[in-house]
Amino acid sequence: MDTRKLGALEVSALGAGCMSISANYGAAADKQQGIKTIRTAFDRGITFFDTAEVYGPYTNELLVGEALSPFRDKVVIATKFGFNIEKGGLNSKPEQIKKVVEESLKRLKTDRIDLLYQHRVDPNVPIEEVAGAVKDLIIQGKVLHFGLSEANVNTIRRAHAVLPVSAIQTEYSFMERSVEKNGVLAVCEELGIGFVPWGPLSMGYLTGKLNAQTTFDQKLDLRATFDRFNPKNLADNMPVVNLVNSFASKRNATASQIALAWLMAQKPFIVPIPGTRNIPHLTENLEGTSIALTKSDLQELDTEFLKLKVSGGRMNAMQMALCE
C-alpha cells in the first residue's frame, strides 16, 4: 500500500471508514465480524482508521479500540468531537472537547488520538477557541494532529492560523463535487492540508448496487431521510451510475474501484475512507488503489459526467444545517 500525507501525518493511501459497521446505514454488524473486517484491513495494508464518539453513539469507538489494540502503534486512529450527544445539537466548548477526548481515549484503549476532528463547526464557539483547546491537548500529548469536518474556507483559514490543520473531511465523490466549487479543495492545496473524502462511493450509489427499487430502513438508515435516495431521485441518478459502470466494464474493474481511483487521481493529498463491514467489499475497494487512470480516462469520465445532472441534495435539511 502506498502512503499519502495529511499535512505532516503519513497514512495509507486508502483509509477505512468504520462508522457503517456500527451505525447509520442499517442495523449494526455482529461485533466479531466488525473486528475481523478491521483487522483484515490492517493485514492488507490499511493504517488509517476513522471513527467518532457519535457513531453508535460510542459503540464504534469501542469496536475500533478493541480491534486495533494488538497493533495500536502501527496505525493512525482518527476520531471526532462536537456533538452534544446527551442534549442534542452541537457543543465545541473547550471544556467539552477535553471531556470528550478523555472518554474517547478510554474507549479507544489508547493514550493518544492521532487525528482529532471537530465533527461539525459550532457557530456558538469561535474556531480560534476550538483550535486553542486542541492545541492544549497536543501539548499534553493526548492528541497529535488537528482536523475539521464540513468546514468552509474562512473557518479553515482561521483555525489554521492558530494551529496547523492536518486534514479536512467532507463528502466528495465522482457524484458529489461541492468541494471543487466552494474553494475547500483549493484552500487545502494552498495551505498544505490533507483532504479526507467521506462518502467516496456516494453512500452506496457508486457501488453500482442501488437502483430505483432500493429501500432503506426508516429507523436505522440515515439515507431514508436524504433527498438523493428517494425513489424518484434514485431513478433520475441512474445515468451517473451507468456511466461509471460502463467505464469500469471496459477496464475490467468494478464501479467502486473506478470511483475510488478517480478520487485518488484528483490530488495527491486525497485519502478516501470507504466504509464496509464485509471482507469481499474491502478486497474490492483495496484493488481500486492499483488502478491508475490516465489523463484521457479522467477527461472522458468528466466530459460525460458534465452532460448529466445529479438530482437531490446530499443530506437532509437538518444535516445540511450543520455544515458550513
Please name which of 266, 288, 291, 315 lies closest in space to residue 206, comparing C-alpha atoms.
288
Could you tell me how many helices (H) and strands (E) the chain has, helices first? 14, 9
- Report the length, in residues, of the chain: 324
* Helical segments of 88-152, H only: 94-107, 127-139
Bridge partners (DSSP) listed for residue 115: 78, 145
Helix (H, G, I), strand (E, B) or coil at 218: coil
Choosing from 25, 55, 117, 172, the catalytic residue is 55
55 is catalytic: yes
The three three-digit cell numbers of residue 283, written as one number: 478486497
CB 193 within 8 A of CB 160: yes
Query: Which H or E run contains 154?
Result: helix 153-162
Q: Tell me the C-alpha distance between 129 and 93, whole Å.
A: 8
- Give catalytic residue positions: 55
